[in-house]
């Protein structure tokens, strides 16, 4: 679903200090570290990182999200008791991983979008590049920039069963798309006066779950067949209506 790779970015001790942030603004990873006593925060950071890295390795090895907590514990070289000291269960671990995948995806897209001079090209770049990131890789291969795709099933579950958590996790990606869309409106490339909330939701959904739409439509989901990214861009930007008479 979303790409994720390597070690997750460290959270400083100051960022998770008691009273410094409200729990609603903390990421799932930060909340895991914040459960530790102040005197053990640095050690907690290292242990949480090892659990997350172990889960990434299991996911990228082909297990998907079907790995068990015990497998994560064994691969991390730590104890089951230690795992539950930092995570309430596998769901919280998956949330931390999914949240990080959204963050790294957003950073990647921001870099690619920023390289475009024209507002419409920035919008086009976002749609096409995000589409390519969400496409399934060939067996035994990784996705864009050598990073393996993340889990579409968990994203779907999160959106349907935990909408509040989903809104929180997806907020960086949504914010970037809204920024790019606003610039396109200001430039005159996209008509003004439209409600951006539904547009953002529909477009991101269409991109993220393109595999399902491809299957339903009888199309190939393999990235090398056709130029599906550009096809989706044309559909999003121009729609399916006929050109109004002049």
Greater model confidence, 167 or 35: 167
Q: How far apart are CA 11 and CA 154, in angstroms?
A: 24
**Among the ranges given (21-30, 58-67, 122-131, 180-189), the one the predictor scored with the smallest mean pLDDT:** 21-30
How far apart, in Å, are the Cα atoms of 140 and each of 175, 210, 242? Answer: 33, 21, 42
Confidence tier at 98 by pLDDT (50, 70, 90) = confident
User: Quick one: average pLDDT of 213-241?
Assistant: 69
Considering the chain, what is the average pLDDT of its residues? Answer: 78
Phi then psi dihedrals of residue 210, to 5 deg: -65, -30
Does position 7 have pLDDT exceeding 70, yes or no?
no
Give Cβ neighbours of residue 15 (< 8 Å, ≥ 6 apart).
21, 30
Nearest-5° angle of CA 206, CA 233, CA 198? 45
Band of pLDDT at residue 21, cut at 50, 70 and 90: very low
Q: Which pLDDT score, from 0 to 100, does residue 14 have?
A: 46
Would you state the structure tokens that stand for residue 231, as one six-digit string?
């096809």
91-95, 189-193, 223-227: least confident range: 223-227
The pLDDT confidence band at residue 5, using thresholds 50, 70 and 90, is: low
Sequence-distant (≥ 6) Cβ neighbours of residue 99 within 8 angstroms: 27, 28, 29, 169
- pLDDT bin (cut points 50, 70, 90) of residue 179 is very high
So where are the chain's domains? 14-91, 97-238
Write down the pLDDT at residue 110.
Answer: 97
> Quick one: average pLDDT of 32-55?
79
Q: What angle do CA 54, 59, 60 make, to 5 degrees?
A: 100
Residue 144 confidence (pLDDT) above 50: no
């Amino acid at each position: 679903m979303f790409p994720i790779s390597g070690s997750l970015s460290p959270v400083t001790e100051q960022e998770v200090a008691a009273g410094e942030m409200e729990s609603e603004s903390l990421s799932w990873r930060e909340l895991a570290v914040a459960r530790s006593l102040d005197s053990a925060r640095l050690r907690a950071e290292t242990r949480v990182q090892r659990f997350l890295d172990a889960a990434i390795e299991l996911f990228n090895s082909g297990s998907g999200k079907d790995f068990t907590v015990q497998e994560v514990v064994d691969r991390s070289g730590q104890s089951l008791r230690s795992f539950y000291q930092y995570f309430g269960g596998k769901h919280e671990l998956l949330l931390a991983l999914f949240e990080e995948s959204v963050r790294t995806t957003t950073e990647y897209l921001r870099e690619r979008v920023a390289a475009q001079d024209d507002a419409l090209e920035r919008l086009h770049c976002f749609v096409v590049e995000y589409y390519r990131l969400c496409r399934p890789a060939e067996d035994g291969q990784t996705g864009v920039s050598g990073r393996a795709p993340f889990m579409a099933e968990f994203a779907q579950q999160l959106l349907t069963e935990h909408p509040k958590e989903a809104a929180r996790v997806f907020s960086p990606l949504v914010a970037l798309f809204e920024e790019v869309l606003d610039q396109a409106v200001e430039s005159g490339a996209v008509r003004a006066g439209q409600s951006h909330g539904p547009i953002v939701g529909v477009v991101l959904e269409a991109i993220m779950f393109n595999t399902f739409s491809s299957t339903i439509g009888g199309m190939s989901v393999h990235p090398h067949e056709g130029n599906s990214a550009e096809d989706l861009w044309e559909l999003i930007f121009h729609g399916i209506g006929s050109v109004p008479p002049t």
